[in-house]
Amino acid sequence: MRELPCDLDFRNCPVSEWEIGPARLRAEAVTHRGPTLGFRIEEADATLCYLPDHEPELLGSIENLGDEWISGYALAHTADLLIHDCQYTDVEYPEHFGWGHSAVSAAVRFADRCKAARTLLFHHEPAHTDAEIDLALADALEQWTDAGHGVDGLQMAAEGEELTVSRTAPESRALA
Ligand SMILES: [Zn+2]
């Protein structure tokens, strides 16, 4: 922690919603190794969901689970931007089941099920090269578009990238 280039300030996380400036925040425990929180941040009409360490298919395929049994569902539901774990390719995942992180297909299924308007995949496997991440994105986009979504709705996160989160127009959300 001492090596992180920032001033860290640890606080207890309330069970209920809380506010920071104009933003309303909510946190819930999500499936990962060790106690881990996911976050939902709402400001004005825009909603951001941040699930950096998350294995939503630990309990089985999302397709077979009711909404209330999907880890992180309430945090991510109809988010304008979902930032989600996507550590493993679908080929790698079976070897890492239970490690607390998502395969490409699980991340795509989660985003689809939660009706996130736009999803940014990250928490890439540290050993992956940029070329391997590009391949994972191609795979993710194929699955995403097969589910009936446009290519604009899904991308890989890149270090240093800045994004503006704004409310998604209802007509484009209907697609999601
Ligand atoms: Zn982790």
Summarised one tens digit per residue, pLDDT across range 62-102 is 999 999 999 999 999 999 999 999 999 999 999 999 999 99
Which residues is 42 bridged to in the sheet? 24, 47
b/e string for 100-118 if b means 16 or more Cβ within 10 A?
A: bbbbbbbbbbbbbbbbbbb
- Going from the Cα of 53 to the center of ligand 1, the distance in angstroms, rounded, reads 5
Q: Which residues surround ligand 1, an ion (CB under 5 A)?
A: 53, 100
The matching CATH number, chosen from 3.55.50.30, 3.40.50.2300, 3.30.70.100, 3.60.15.10, for 18-158 is 3.60.15.10
- Ligand 1 center–CA 122 separation, angstroms: 12
What angle is formed at CA 13 by the lines to CA 11 and CA 15, rounded to 5 degrees? 160
Residue 159's pLDDT is 85
Residues of the chain with confidence (pLDDT) below 50: 174-176
pLDDT at 92: 97
- The beta strand positions in 86-148, using DSSP E, are 119-122
The pLDDT of residue 136 is 96
> How far apart (Å, rounded) are the C-alpha atoms in residues 153 and 72?
19
CA of 100 to the centre of ligand 1 (A): 6
Q: Say what the pLDDT of residue 59 is.
A: 84
Residue 33 Cα to ligand 1 midpoint, Å, equals 7
pLDDT value at residue 10: 87
Rounded to an integer, what distance in angstroms lies between the CA atom of residue 115 and that of residue 170?
12
Listed in sequence order, the residues at least 6 apart from 106 whose beta carbon sits closer than 8 Å to its beta carbon are 55, 56, 57, 62, 93
- Which secondary-structure segment (H or E) carries 101? none
Other CB atoms closer than 10 Å to residue 62's CB: what's the count?
21
What is the spatial distance between Cα 106 and Cα 22, in angstroms, rounded to a whole number?
A: 33
The domain spans of the chain are 18-158
What pTM, to 2 d.p., does this model score? Answer: 0.91
